[in-house]
Structure 1
Amino acid sequence: MRGHAIRTVTVDGVRAEFVADPALVHRILVKDAKRYGKGELFRKARNLSRVGLLADDDAVHRHYRRLAHPQLRTSAVAEHAPLMRDIARETVASWRPGQAVDVQTEMCGIASAIALRTLLPGLAPAQSAALTEQLAALSWELIRKPLYGRAAARANRPRPAERLARVRENFRTPLAAALADRADRTCPASATPDYVSALASHPGHGGAPALTADQICDEAVMLLTAATVTTASVLSWALHVLSEEPLIEEKVLKDLAQEGDGNHYTPRFLTEVMRLHPPVWISCRRALTDVELGGTSYPAGTHVLFSSYLLHRNPDSHPDPHRFDPDRWLTHRPAPGEASYIPFGIGAKGCIGESFAWQELETVLAAVVQEWQLTPEPGHRVRTAAETALHPRRLRLIPHPR
């Protein structure tokens, strides 16, 4: 949509304004953020908790963000690195040389185990293992859920919709029981309070009642699936790129071997993966008041769309945008006042789990590629699927021991 800062589109019969100008997107997400709430134009939005971190009200959002911060701050996240590494190594140890693995389901399993064991500490081993399997299944269903159009309509017909609802309930029911068990136990005074425990023990914000057990469970489902879906998708793309680009793989391996000096190439590599393959590839906002964009006024209730996928491939912001080049980030920086690179969002409501995601991406990537060289399955071309997450349509790679 180059050349059109704003264009009117129709999504499932609903009019929306598609914004392609990174400066205008920055204005929506930062300068005028209070004028916009979460849009529900896409069907996925109706399945998310709205009582905590995703609340439209800025004050409510900030309140729950503060509750989550102690567990997700950079120093706290770094303490999880050994556990993240152990979980990833345990999974890839089950791979067999020469036998193709479904990379996306494997990454869902790893990301699910990490999310549960770090964000909900203290679960019994059997309980954690069962919830991990169910969370991985739910996350994979959500990744593949179409957002709009005929495919989304088919997915919301009784049988497919019932399948997703069943998978979600298969996870939510035992999760609710696990949260009730945790509520009955006392957390050690020295432990960092996790977000869900904080929700259970904290009064409501601004005179509102405290969250109910059902609301806390819904917030936990939102947090755990968001952590799993996005990370699994990025890791899948990263491993796909390495399987196709041996020179880039060699640089990543050399970088990971330089312990103590800091990893420099690997973060650039992952930055470039998320530029070309952002998991949250399209977003919607709804104007809460009358707004002005690009010299045009729009009434309250207007749906506004923008796509990180297109913003990240805008040649005005990223020269030679379709070329995978981690070294562009040696000198390239997004322009101030523009949302030209937003894999984690931007502004006051940007992803609170960004530090957690970076730690997990680097740790899991190292655990996989230092153990295995992955090569493409012969005769198969990987295609992009733009569904709830931007993910490879089918990614089966063949592991070879290092």
Structure 2
Amino acid sequence: MDTTPYPPFRFGRMERLLRGHSVRGVRVDGTDAHFVNDPALVRSILVDGNKSYGKGDLFQKARNLSRAGMLAEDESVHRYYRRLAHPYLRSATVDDHVPAMREIAQDTVGSWRAGQTVDVQAEMCRTAAAVAVRTLLHGLPPQRSAALTERLARLSWEMIRKPLSGRAAARAGHPRPAGRLLRARADFRAALAATLLEHWGSARPAAGYLPALLPGLEEDTAPALTLDQICDEAVMMLAAGTVTTASVLSWALYVLSREPLVEEKVLKDMAGYGAASDVHGGGHCPAGYTVRFLTEVLRLYPPVWITCRRTLVDVTLGEHALPAGTHVLFSSYLLHRDPGHYANPHRFDPDRWLSLRPDARGSSFIPFGVGAKGCIGESFAWKELEVVLGAVIQEWQLSLVPGSRVRKAPETTLHPHSLFMIPRPR
């Protein structure tokens, strides 16, 4: 098997490098790894053989924030904290958050002015941050909630732009006191720690997932987290939910500005189901056009565009024997654009999901991962995307600033390198 240097940010070169290979040896920042480009083998890693794979060390941006709770090395601890979070993020609970989501989104679009240039990514970061704080740590005084939101939005924007590989990543990860990302993380973490300390001694505590971590836990279930670990877990949960949602919303608004017929269909669909929407994505195609639209956005612009796993034992992956400790990579971006699974794969076509099911066995569609370690916030994300998107496009029609060119930036998330738009009233 070849071991070829891995060009991490040039998708065309990646496609050429992997063409004809289901598994190919690569080298990432001096580390040998195997790149998997076959959806069946990727699903075998994530579903059938998931107990044979742990979290890899390459491209693990979240693990820079926390190694406790859901990101613990111990799988039993990971499962425990995943179960603890589930009641607050499952489908049955998500609808309870819709009024708060809608209020936050309407506050955002209400602050815009016709003809004013809007930094869409920054605005979506601020909106998604407010949703995360209000829903995962609700019941806070408005001033405290606003302060946390502002700090989380700043941290999330710095995270979104963090390189994942190469010399730029090494520089970004260097513990320099002046680093903007490190400063933003320290600032948010300090405010969060103060909030949790107040909660600990409060007679009227806040509610939600994060406060649920505070009471002592039974020793036979999982070790209790220290305050430092709770802060790390909170930063990870809040930031992860913010950066991914903000990136997808930014791409969705960009696509609508370029596809007026698609925009017209989304608006018509939203008008049809109104405020009492019962739309949920994640395998429910061919549901309404809005779901198919968001599914297509997630296909072409998956926020978690590359993933690394590490073999915990000797495994056989297709025809390849991999010893324990092997790094295994796969890219949802490449899988989602495979012409063997999608006709005209680079074309934006929501109606392709009239005949395809995202959750079908053998599907290469994995924007949220799949299996026991798939994104626990998937149902929450679908509802948030729908609510925020609806609030924006029913109020404003957005167009790119004249002369601007939008390029993909595959960093912590796959996001537009720059996205400045001009709103005009509907």
| TM-score above 0.5 | yes
- Of 303, 320, 324, which aligns to 1:300? 324
- Residues 42 and 147 of structure 1 are in contact (CA less than 8 Å); yes or no, is this contact kept in structure 2? yes
Q: Distance in 2 between matches of 1:19 and 1:226?
A: 25
1:112-131, Cα deviation, whole Å (9 max, x unpaired): 00000011012111111111
Number of the residue aligned with 2:230: 216
Conserved 8 A contact 2:250-2:416 = yes
What SS does the aligned partner of 1:344 have? coil
- Once the two structures are TM-superposed, the CA of residue 72 in structure 1 deviates from its matched residue by 0.9
CA distance in structure 2 between the aligned counterparts of 1:135 and 1:252, rounded to whole angstroms? 30
| Aligned amino acid, residue 303 of structure 2 | P
What CA distance in whole angstroms lies between the structure 1 residues aligned with 2:73 and 2:176?
32
Match status 1:378 vs 2:395 = no
- Cα offset, 1:48, TM superposition: 3.1
The Cα of 1:159 is off from its aligned counterpart by 4.9
Note the residue ranges of structure 2 that are not aligned, 5 or more in a row.
Answer: 1-17, 280-287
The CA deviation at 1:283 is: 0.4
Q: 1:244 aligns with which of 227, 234, 258?
A: 258
Residue in 2 that maps onto 1:17: 34
Corresponding residue for residue 66 of structure 2: 49
For residue 154 of structure 1, report the CA deviation from its aligned partner: 3.1
User: Secondary structure at the residue paired with 1:7?
Assistant: strand
Report the counterpart of residue 98 of structure 2 in structure 1: 81
Q: How has the CA–CA distance of structure 1 residues 81 and 34 changed in structure 2, closer, same or farther, with 3 Å as cutoff?
A: same
2:249 to 224, 232, 235: 235
1:297 counterpart SS class: strand
Aligned partners of 2:101 and 2:388 also within 8 Å: yes
Question: For 2:297 and 2:255, how far apart are their aligned partners in 1?
Answer: 8
The DSSP-based 3-state class of the residue aligned with 2:422 is: strand
| Structure 1: stretches of 5+ with no match in the other structure | none
Q: How does 1:14-163 map to 2 (within 5 A)?
A: 14-42=31-59, 44-157=61-174, 159=176, 162-163=179-180
Greater alpha carbon shift after TM alignment, 54-63 vs 273-282: 54-63
Does structure 1 retain, via aligned residues, the 8 Å contact 2:34–2:329?
yes
Alignment correspondent of 1:342: 366
Distance 1:23 1:343 in 2: 15
Matched, 1:387 2:395: no
Q: Which residue of 2 aligns with 1:168?
A: 185
- For these two proteins, the number of residue pairs brought into alignment is 399
Report the Cα distance in structure 2 between the residues aligned to 1:335 and 1:242, rounded to whole angstroms. 25
Aligned-residue offset at 1:135: 0.3
Q: CA deviation at 1:250?
A: 0.4
In the TM superposition, residue 63 of structure 1 has moved relative to its aligned partner by 1.3
CA distance in 2, matches of 1:314, 1:205: 47
The residue type paired with residue 145 of structure 1 is K
Whichever residue aligns with residue 199 of structure 1, its letter is L
Q: Does the 8 A contact of 1:63 with 1:205 survive in 2?
A: no
Return the letter of the residue paired with 2:141. Answer: A
Query: Residues of 2 paired with 1:324 and 1:229: CA distance?
Result: 23
Q: Distance in 2 between matches of 1:57 and 1:124?
A: 36
Deviations 1:15-35 (A, max 9, x none): 000000100000000111011
Contact 2:60–2:308 at 8 Å: present in 1 too?
A: no
Q: 1:379 to 1:392 in 2, by over 3 A?
A: same
- Amino acid across the alignment from 2:25: T
Q: Does the C-alpha gap of structure 1 residues 205 and 380 become closer, same or farther in structure 2, counting only changes over 3 Å?
A: farther
